[in-house]
Structure 1
Amino acid sequence: MSATAHEAAMFLHRIKILTLAGFTIWIDISWLILAALLIWTLALGEFPRTVPNLSAATYWWMGFAGTIGLFISIILHELSHALIARRYDMPIAGITLFIFGGVAELNKEPSSAKAEFLMAIGGPIASMVLGTILLLIAAASEKTVSPAAFGVLDYLGGLNWILALFNLIPAFPLDGGRVLRAGLWGWMNDFGRATRIAAGSGASSSALP
């Protein structure tokens, strides 16, 4: 997901963790809450169900590994946005992970419909590629790695596909909403009107039961 620096101003309590490819990576405190909940859910629910008959300690380590894998997956997703944005002269203030995922913070709006489209679609494509690679590795190594390693790889492969498909929902400011805006912008040649329509689609989606 991407947002302007103004839209990302809600991140008031965040910690700088590293610089990657010239972009500062931050973690908002809310992401730590998500991480704790995810470790707990994976260790006590998901992995005992999908990979039974392992020790409790193994499930906790799997939960930790799965959460770190999600962390890396989100960074790669957002880094794809950021690299394409930089290619099209859209400066990125940084990448922040928060409770709903991650966001690449744009310093200005896209310069063209093409730039908007490529930047928006880059994240989901990166997640699809990563998810496919992980699923192929899991399938190829199922009989040669431990059940715990297979379970984590298989989980992360599927999770990256879920991440990609969720972000493609045409609801602004999700990636799918930005793809929609890019298409409307290119068709109507009116950035403001395209933004209003795309934002309206996001409001309509959030109002669904």
Structure 2
Amino acid sequence: MFIEPHWTGDKRGWIEVICGSMFSGKTEELIRRLKRARIAHQHTEIFKPSIDTRYAVGDIVSHDERSVPSTPIGNSQEILLLSQDRDVIGIDEAQFFDAELPSVCDRLALQGMRVIVAGLDMDFQGKPFGPMPALLAKADYITKLHAICVCCGHIASYSYRKVHSKSQLLLGEAESYEPRCRVCYAKGPAADRAIP
């Protein structure tokens, strides 16, 4: 679908996507970029899905407990209504948003905004998660972060679910998920625990 450009002078926007497994530092990197934008006196707005209440209702919070205030929203169209006169838009946990998120990000970028999106690229089954594949295709810049495999210590790209549930959407932390490399992820419950 073609989107009518709405450029403001020479101001050009773009889309940055930060992706990876759970515990790879996606939210931490998003917070770092947003804080740098604020230091540069840029007007920022941060959004997260309203279903994500793991740490706080109104903040995005990284696993190392860094946080910034955010606006919880129910769908991606709300971002368009709440991001007027902003230079930088941050979006956390993008995998939980609806399929319209990539189009929303396109519109914001065409309006001259820098859009920084963070989310899981794969679900617990190793399949592309929500709107993330389309966001990765549209991104001007992509950062793939890795965790450390809890079984062998190699880089981890997979989020292994430790609890039994077939639902794609299961909010949880270390009690429900752990980062694993490709080999240990494929071994499933049989993976050896070389790391305490």
Q: Please tell me the TM-score bracket, short chain as reference.
A: under 0.3
Higher helix share: 1
Q: Which has the higher contact order (CA 8 A, sep 6+)?
A: 2
Higher strand share: 2
For the pair shown, which has the larger CA radius of gyration, 1 or 2?
Answer: 1
What's the TM-score, normalizing by structure 1? 0.27
